[in-house]
Structure 1
Amino acid sequence: MAVNKYSDDELYSMLKDPKTKEKGFKALLAQYGRGLYWHIRRIVIGHDDAEDAVQETSINIWKNIDAFRGNAEQLKSWIYRIATNESLQVLRKRTTFLQSVDDLGEVLTEELTTENPLDSEATERLFQEALLKLPTQQRIAFNLRYYDEMPYEQIAEITGKKVGVLKTNYHYAVDKIKSYLKEHA
Protein backbone atom coordinates (compact mmCIF):
# COMPACT_ATOMS: atom_id res chain seq x y z
CA MET A 1 0.00 0.00 0.00
CA ALA A 2 1.47 3.34 -1.05
CA VAL A 3 1.62 6.05 1.57
CA ASN A 4 0.59 9.52 0.45
CA LYS A 5 3.26 12.10 1.09
CA TYR A 6 1.77 15.32 2.38
CA SER A 7 3.53 18.61 2.90
CA ASP A 8 3.64 19.98 6.44
CA ASP A 9 1.16 22.65 5.30
CA GLU A 10 -1.29 19.97 4.14
CA LEU A 11 -0.87 17.95 7.33
CA TYR A 12 -1.34 21.05 9.44
CA SER A 13 -4.51 21.98 7.55
CA MET A 14 -5.94 18.48 7.91
CA LEU A 15 -5.14 18.36 11.63
CA LYS A 16 -6.78 21.74 12.28
CA ASP A 17 -10.00 20.86 10.42
CA PRO A 18 -12.34 18.69 12.56
CA LYS A 19 -13.58 16.94 9.39
CA THR A 20 -10.09 15.78 8.37
CA LYS A 21 -8.36 15.65 11.77
CA GLU A 22 -8.34 11.84 12.00
CA LYS A 23 -7.09 11.46 8.42
CA GLY A 24 -4.42 14.07 9.10
CA PHE A 25 -3.34 12.29 12.27
CA LYS A 26 -3.01 8.96 10.44
CA ALA A 27 -1.05 10.66 7.66
CA LEU A 28 1.18 12.36 10.21
CA LEU A 29 1.98 9.03 11.89
CA ALA A 30 2.55 7.38 8.52
CA GLN A 31 5.02 10.09 7.51
CA TYR A 32 6.81 10.69 10.79
CA GLY A 33 6.33 7.38 12.60
CA ARG A 34 9.53 5.68 11.45
CA GLY A 35 11.65 8.77 12.08
CA LEU A 36 10.10 9.21 15.53
CA TYR A 37 10.75 5.58 16.37
CA TRP A 38 14.44 5.85 15.53
CA HIS A 39 14.77 9.22 17.25
CA ILE A 40 13.32 7.70 20.41
CA ARG A 41 15.22 4.44 20.02
CA ARG A 42 18.55 6.26 19.91
CA ILE A 43 17.71 7.88 23.25
CA VAL A 44 16.18 4.94 25.13
CA ILE A 45 18.10 2.23 23.21
CA GLY A 46 15.71 -0.71 23.80
CA HIS A 47 13.04 -1.64 21.25
CA ASP A 48 10.27 -2.22 23.80
CA ASP A 49 10.91 1.11 25.52
CA ALA A 50 10.99 2.83 22.13
CA GLU A 51 7.66 1.27 21.14
CA ASP A 52 6.11 2.40 24.44
CA ALA A 53 7.45 5.93 24.00
CA VAL A 54 6.18 6.09 20.40
CA GLN A 55 2.74 5.04 21.62
CA GLU A 56 2.76 7.69 24.36
CA THR A 57 4.01 10.27 21.87
CA SER A 58 1.14 9.43 19.50
CA ILE A 59 -1.39 9.73 22.31
CA ASN A 60 0.03 13.09 23.39
CA ILE A 61 0.01 14.41 19.83
CA TRP A 62 -3.65 13.41 19.43
CA LYS A 63 -4.66 14.87 22.81
CA ASN A 64 -2.82 18.14 22.32
CA ILE A 65 -3.08 18.89 18.61
CA ASP A 66 -5.98 21.28 19.20
CA ALA A 67 -3.84 23.23 21.68
CA PHE A 68 -0.93 23.49 19.22
CA ARG A 69 -0.62 27.18 18.43
CA GLY A 70 2.31 27.06 16.05
CA ASN A 71 2.29 27.02 12.29
CA ALA A 72 2.96 24.25 9.78
CA GLU A 73 6.71 24.90 9.85
CA GLN A 74 6.79 24.30 13.61
CA LEU A 75 4.79 21.07 13.47
CA LYS A 76 7.78 18.73 13.12
CA SER A 77 9.66 20.46 15.95
CA TRP A 78 6.59 20.20 18.18
CA ILE A 79 6.23 16.47 17.44
CA TYR A 80 9.92 15.81 18.08
CA ARG A 81 9.75 17.79 21.34
CA ILE A 82 6.95 15.51 22.54
CA ALA A 83 8.97 12.45 21.47
CA THR A 84 12.09 13.73 23.23
CA ASN A 85 10.15 14.40 26.43
CA GLU A 86 8.61 10.92 26.32
CA SER A 87 12.07 9.43 25.82
CA LEU A 88 13.41 11.31 28.82
CA GLN A 89 10.41 10.12 30.84
CA VAL A 90 11.27 6.50 29.97
CA LEU A 91 14.87 7.08 31.10
CA ARG A 92 13.68 8.68 34.36
CA LYS A 93 11.40 5.74 35.08
CA ARG A 94 14.21 3.33 34.32
CA THR A 95 16.71 5.07 36.62
CA THR A 96 14.30 4.90 39.55
CA PHE A 97 14.59 1.11 39.36
CA LEU A 98 18.36 1.10 39.03
CA GLN A 99 20.84 2.10 41.68
CA SER A 100 22.94 4.38 39.51
CA VAL A 101 23.38 5.75 36.02
CA ASP A 102 26.33 3.36 35.62
CA ASP A 103 23.90 0.47 36.09
CA LEU A 104 21.69 1.98 33.39
CA GLY A 105 24.61 2.05 30.97
CA GLU A 106 25.39 -1.60 31.71
CA VAL A 107 21.78 -2.66 31.18
CA LEU A 108 21.51 -0.75 27.90
CA THR A 109 24.85 -2.08 26.67
CA GLU A 110 23.64 -5.60 27.40
CA GLU A 111 20.43 -4.87 25.44
CA LEU A 112 22.51 -3.70 22.49
CA THR A 113 24.57 -6.87 22.35
CA THR A 114 21.71 -9.34 22.86
CA GLU A 115 18.63 -7.72 21.34
CA ASN A 116 19.42 -7.85 17.64
CA PRO A 117 22.27 -9.92 16.26
CA LEU A 118 22.41 -7.75 13.12
CA ASP A 119 23.28 -4.70 15.25
CA SER A 120 25.97 -6.43 17.25
CA GLU A 121 28.92 -5.86 14.94
CA ALA A 122 31.89 -4.70 16.96
CA THR A 123 32.11 -1.19 15.51
CA GLU A 124 28.40 -0.48 15.85
CA ARG A 125 28.40 -1.83 19.39
CA LEU A 126 31.36 0.36 20.33
CA PHE A 127 29.67 3.39 18.80
CA GLN A 128 26.45 2.69 20.70
CA GLU A 129 28.40 2.15 23.92
CA ALA A 130 30.09 5.51 23.37
CA LEU A 131 26.66 7.12 22.93
CA LEU A 132 25.48 5.55 26.18
CA LYS A 133 28.40 7.11 28.05
CA LEU A 134 27.29 10.60 27.01
CA PRO A 135 25.22 12.75 29.34
CA THR A 136 21.58 12.78 28.22
CA GLN A 137 21.59 16.33 26.82
CA GLN A 138 24.74 15.67 24.77
CA ARG A 139 23.25 12.42 23.45
CA ILE A 140 20.03 14.17 22.42
CA ALA A 141 21.90 17.01 20.69
CA PHE A 142 24.13 14.48 18.91
CA ASN A 143 21.23 12.26 17.81
CA LEU A 144 19.14 15.12 16.44
CA ARG A 145 22.08 16.69 14.62
CA TYR A 146 23.88 13.56 13.39
CA TYR A 147 21.09 11.07 12.72
CA ASP A 148 18.13 13.35 12.03
CA GLU A 149 20.30 16.01 10.33
CA MET A 150 18.37 18.83 11.95
CA PRO A 151 19.66 22.38 12.00
CA TYR A 152 20.58 23.74 15.43
CA GLU A 153 17.66 26.18 15.31
CA GLN A 154 15.17 23.33 15.02
CA ILE A 155 16.92 21.36 17.76
CA ALA A 156 16.63 24.48 19.93
CA GLU A 157 12.86 24.51 19.36
CA ILE A 158 12.63 20.83 20.31
CA THR A 159 14.83 20.94 23.41
CA GLY A 160 14.26 24.48 24.63
CA LYS A 161 18.04 25.01 24.75
CA LYS A 162 19.99 27.87 23.19
CA VAL A 163 21.79 27.23 19.90
CA GLY A 164 25.19 27.92 21.48
CA VAL A 165 24.56 25.34 24.21
CA LEU A 166 23.49 22.79 21.59
CA LYS A 167 26.60 23.39 19.50
CA THR A 168 28.75 22.92 22.59
CA ASN A 169 26.86 19.75 23.57
CA TYR A 170 27.20 18.36 20.06
CA HIS A 171 30.93 19.05 19.81
CA TYR A 172 31.61 17.64 23.29
CA ALA A 173 29.64 14.55 22.27
CA VAL A 174 31.68 14.14 19.08
CA ASP A 175 34.94 14.50 21.02
CA LYS A 176 33.84 11.99 23.67
CA ILE A 177 32.71 9.48 21.04
CA LYS A 178 36.02 9.80 19.17
CA SER A 179 37.98 9.33 22.40
CA TYR A 180 35.91 6.32 23.40
CA LEU A 181 36.36 4.68 19.99
CA LYS A 182 40.14 5.28 20.02
CA GLU A 183 40.40 3.94 23.54
CA HIS A 184 38.33 0.79 22.92
CA ALA A 185 39.15 -0.03 19.28
Structure 2
Amino acid sequence: MISEETLVLELKTKESQAKAFEVLVNTYKERLYWHIRRIVMNHDDADDVLQNTFIKVYRNINSFKGDSKLYSWLYRIATNESLTFLKQKSKKSGISSEELQQSLIDNLESDVYFEGSEIQLKLQKAIATLPEKQKLVFNMKYFQEMKYDEISEVLKTSVGGLKASYHLAVKKIEAFLKEG
Protein backbone atom coordinates (compact mmCIF):
# COMPACT_ATOMS: atom_id res chain seq x y z
CA MET A 1 0.00 0.00 0.00
CA ILE A 2 1.47 3.32 -1.04
CA SER A 3 1.22 6.34 1.22
CA GLU A 4 -1.62 8.80 0.82
CA GLU A 5 0.84 11.58 -0.08
CA THR A 6 2.41 9.46 -2.83
CA LEU A 7 -1.01 8.49 -4.17
CA VAL A 8 -2.12 12.14 -4.32
CA LEU A 9 1.11 13.10 -6.06
CA GLU A 10 0.66 10.31 -8.62
CA LEU A 11 -2.98 11.30 -9.15
CA LYS A 12 -1.85 14.83 -9.98
CA THR A 13 0.88 13.65 -12.40
CA LYS A 14 -0.30 12.99 -15.98
CA GLU A 15 2.02 9.99 -16.54
CA SER A 16 0.94 8.09 -13.42
CA GLN A 17 -2.64 9.38 -13.14
CA ALA A 18 -4.48 6.42 -14.71
CA LYS A 19 -2.68 3.80 -12.60
CA ALA A 20 -3.01 5.89 -9.44
CA PHE A 21 -6.72 6.39 -10.04
CA GLU A 22 -7.15 2.63 -10.37
CA VAL A 23 -5.40 2.21 -6.99
CA LEU A 24 -7.65 4.91 -5.48
CA VAL A 25 -10.83 3.26 -6.76
CA ASN A 26 -9.76 -0.23 -5.64
CA THR A 27 -8.76 1.08 -2.21
CA TYR A 28 -11.91 3.08 -1.44
CA LYS A 29 -14.77 1.79 -3.62
CA GLU A 30 -16.22 -0.67 -1.12
CA ARG A 31 -16.15 1.66 1.89
CA LEU A 32 -17.55 4.53 -0.17
CA TYR A 33 -20.23 2.27 -1.67
CA TRP A 34 -21.53 1.30 1.79
CA HIS A 35 -21.37 4.90 3.00
CA ILE A 36 -23.41 6.02 -0.02
CA ARG A 37 -25.73 3.01 0.19
CA ARG A 38 -26.68 3.89 3.77
CA ILE A 39 -27.69 7.35 2.57
CA VAL A 40 -29.50 6.53 -0.68
CA MET A 41 -30.71 3.06 0.46
CA ASN A 42 -30.81 1.52 -3.00
CA HIS A 43 -28.11 -0.59 -4.68
CA ASP A 44 -28.48 0.81 -8.21
CA ASP A 45 -28.65 4.40 -6.93
CA ALA A 46 -25.58 3.78 -4.75
CA ASP A 47 -23.68 2.49 -7.79
CA ASP A 48 -24.64 5.61 -9.76
CA VAL A 49 -23.66 7.96 -6.93
CA LEU A 50 -20.38 6.09 -6.41
CA GLN A 51 -19.57 6.50 -10.09
CA ASN A 52 -20.42 10.22 -9.92
CA THR A 53 -18.22 10.52 -6.82
CA PHE A 54 -15.20 9.04 -8.58
CA ILE A 55 -15.81 11.20 -11.66
CA LYS A 56 -15.88 14.29 -9.44
CA VAL A 57 -12.71 13.14 -7.64
CA TYR A 58 -10.95 12.56 -10.98
CA ARG A 59 -11.96 15.99 -12.30
CA ASN A 60 -11.07 17.83 -9.09
CA ILE A 61 -7.97 16.03 -7.78
CA ASN A 62 -5.80 19.01 -8.69
CA SER A 63 -7.83 21.22 -6.36
CA PHE A 64 -7.18 18.85 -3.43
CA LYS A 65 -4.82 20.82 -1.22
CA GLY A 66 -4.11 18.19 1.41
CA ASP A 67 -5.65 20.23 4.25
CA SER A 68 -7.54 17.07 5.22
CA LYS A 69 -6.87 13.41 4.62
CA LEU A 70 -7.65 12.15 1.12
CA TYR A 71 -10.05 9.69 2.77
CA SER A 72 -11.98 12.55 4.41
CA TRP A 73 -12.11 14.47 1.14
CA LEU A 74 -13.51 11.41 -0.68
CA TYR A 75 -16.15 10.91 2.01
CA ARG A 76 -17.15 14.58 1.84
CA ILE A 77 -17.61 14.32 -1.93
CA ALA A 78 -19.53 11.02 -1.58
CA THR A 79 -21.75 12.53 1.14
CA ASN A 80 -22.49 15.66 -0.90
CA GLU A 81 -23.14 13.62 -4.05
CA SER A 82 -25.53 11.36 -2.10
CA LEU A 83 -27.46 14.25 -0.58
CA THR A 84 -27.65 16.05 -3.93
CA PHE A 85 -28.87 12.84 -5.55
CA LEU A 86 -31.66 12.46 -2.96
CA LYS A 87 -32.71 16.11 -3.36
CA GLN A 88 -32.88 15.71 -7.14
CA LYS A 89 -34.77 12.43 -6.81
CA SER A 90 -37.40 13.95 -4.51
CA LYS A 91 -37.72 17.00 -6.79
CA LYS A 92 -38.13 14.79 -9.90
CA SER A 93 -40.73 12.68 -8.11
CA GLY A 94 -42.54 15.77 -6.86
CA ILE A 95 -42.43 14.56 -3.25
CA SER A 96 -40.85 15.87 -0.06
CA SER A 97 -37.56 14.44 1.19
CA GLU A 98 -39.46 12.85 4.11
CA GLU A 99 -41.80 11.08 1.68
CA LEU A 100 -38.81 9.96 -0.35
CA GLN A 101 -37.14 8.53 2.79
CA GLN A 102 -40.31 6.58 3.60
CA SER A 103 -40.48 5.29 0.04
CA LEU A 104 -36.82 4.18 0.20
CA ILE A 105 -37.44 2.32 3.46
CA ASP A 106 -40.53 0.64 2.01
CA ASN A 107 -38.48 -0.43 -1.00
CA LEU A 108 -35.72 -1.85 1.21
CA GLU A 109 -37.98 -4.74 2.17
CA SER A 110 -38.23 -5.83 -1.47
CA ASP A 111 -34.59 -5.01 -2.40
CA VAL A 112 -32.84 -8.22 -3.50
CA TYR A 113 -29.51 -6.70 -2.40
CA PHE A 114 -30.73 -6.10 1.16
CA GLU A 115 -29.81 -9.21 3.10
CA GLY A 116 -30.70 -7.91 6.54
CA SER A 117 -32.78 -9.62 9.16
CA GLU A 118 -35.98 -8.18 10.61
CA ILE A 119 -34.02 -6.32 13.31
CA GLN A 120 -31.66 -4.82 10.70
CA LEU A 121 -34.64 -3.65 8.68
CA LYS A 122 -36.13 -2.13 11.82
CA LEU A 123 -32.80 -0.38 12.54
CA GLN A 124 -32.77 1.04 8.99
CA LYS A 125 -36.33 2.29 9.48
CA ALA A 126 -35.29 3.95 12.75
CA ILE A 127 -32.26 5.59 11.12
CA ALA A 128 -34.46 6.88 8.28
CA THR A 129 -36.53 8.86 10.82
CA LEU A 130 -33.49 10.87 11.93
CA PRO A 131 -32.70 14.38 10.72
CA GLU A 132 -30.08 14.39 7.94
CA LYS A 133 -27.07 15.36 10.09
CA GLN A 134 -27.85 12.85 12.85
CA LYS A 135 -28.32 10.15 10.22
CA LEU A 136 -24.93 10.89 8.64
CA VAL A 137 -23.13 11.00 12.01
CA PHE A 138 -24.80 7.80 13.20
CA ASN A 139 -23.97 5.90 10.00
CA MET A 140 -20.33 7.00 9.99
CA LYS A 141 -19.80 6.28 13.70
CA TYR A 142 -21.87 3.11 14.07
CA PHE A 143 -21.44 1.30 10.75
CA GLN A 144 -18.09 2.61 9.56
CA GLU A 145 -16.56 2.97 13.01
CA MET A 146 -15.08 6.33 12.07
CA LYS A 147 -13.58 8.40 14.85
CA TYR A 148 -15.17 11.75 15.74
CA ASP A 149 -12.17 13.69 14.41
CA GLU A 150 -12.50 11.89 11.05
CA ILE A 151 -16.23 12.61 10.89
CA SER A 152 -15.45 16.21 11.84
CA GLU A 153 -13.15 16.51 8.80
CA VAL A 154 -15.80 15.04 6.49
CA LEU A 155 -18.78 17.03 7.73
CA LYS A 156 -16.85 20.19 8.72
CA THR A 157 -18.46 20.20 12.19
CA SER A 158 -17.00 20.37 15.69
CA VAL A 159 -16.33 17.13 17.56
CA GLY A 160 -18.58 18.35 20.40
CA GLY A 161 -21.44 18.93 17.97
CA LEU A 162 -20.92 15.47 16.47
CA LYS A 163 -20.98 13.80 19.88
CA ALA A 164 -24.24 15.57 20.69
CA SER A 165 -25.73 14.56 17.30
CA TYR A 166 -24.66 10.94 17.79
CA HIS A 167 -26.06 10.85 21.32
CA LEU A 168 -29.41 12.27 20.15
CA ALA A 169 -29.50 9.82 17.23
CA VAL A 170 -28.91 6.85 19.55
CA LYS A 171 -31.68 8.02 21.91
CA LYS A 172 -34.14 8.44 19.02
CA ILE A 173 -33.24 5.05 17.56
CA GLU A 174 -33.65 3.36 20.96
CA ALA A 175 -37.06 5.01 21.38
CA PHE A 176 -38.12 3.93 17.87
CA LEU A 177 -37.04 0.34 18.49
CA LYS A 178 -38.87 0.21 21.86
CA GLU A 179 -42.12 1.46 20.21
CA GLY A 180 -42.24 -1.31 17.64
What is the TM-score with the length of structure 1 in the denominator? 0.90
Q: Which stretch shows the higher mean deviation, 14-23 or 127-136?
A: 14-23
Q: Does 1:87 align with 2:117?
A: no
1:30-49 → structure 2 map (5 Å cutoff): 30-49=26-45
Q: Deviations over 1:70-129 (max 9, x none)?
A: 16x611111110000001101111221243334213211122100127525211110110
Q: Deviations over 1:39-83 (max 9, x none)?
A: 000011111211111011010000000111116x61111111000
CA–CA distance in 1 between the matches of 2:66 and 2:113?
42
Q: Which stretch shows the higher mean deviation, 149-158 or 130-139?
A: 149-158
Q: Does 1:64 align with 2:60?
A: yes
Contact 2:126 2:173 in 1 (8 A): yes
SS in 2 for 1:114: coil
Q: Which residue of the partner structure matches residue 145 of structure 1?
A: 141
**Alpha-carbon shift at residue 162 of structure 1 (Å):** 1.7
**Alpha-carbon shift at residue 12 of structure 1 (Å):** 2.0
**Runs of 5+ consecutive residues of structure 2 not aligned to the other structure:** none
CA–CA distance in 2 between the matches of 1:107 and 1:38?
19
Q: Which residue of the partner structure matches residue 74 of structure 1?
A: 69
Contact 2:148 2:159 in 1 (8 A): yes
Would the alpha carbon gap of residues 6 and 116 (structure 1) be closer, same or farther in structure 2, given more than 3 Å must change? farther
Q: Which stretch shows the higher mean deviation, 8-17 or 53-62?
A: 8-17
Q: Which stretch shows the higher mean deviation, 82-91 or 113-122?
A: 113-122
Would the alpha carbon gap of residues 165 and 105 (structure 1) be closer, same or farther in structure 2, given more than 3 Å must change? same
Q: Does 1:161 align with 2:139?
A: no
Q: Which residue of the partner structure matches residue 135 of structure 1?
A: 131
**Runs of 5+ consecutive residues of structure 1 not aligned to the other structure:** none
What is the TM-score with the length of structure 2 in the denominator? 0.92
CA–CA distance in 1 between the matches of 2:4 and 2:143?
21
Q: Which residue of the partner structure matches residue 180 of structure 1?
A: 176
Q: Does 1:14 align with 2:28?
A: no
SS in 1 for 2:14: coil
CA–CA distance in 2 between the matches of 1:10 and 1:143?
30
CA–CA distance in 2 between the matches of 1:141 and 1:76?
16
Q: Does 1:123 align with 2:95?
A: no
CA–CA distance in 1 between the matches of 2:145 and 2:20?
25
Contact 2:86 2:97 in 1 (8 A): no
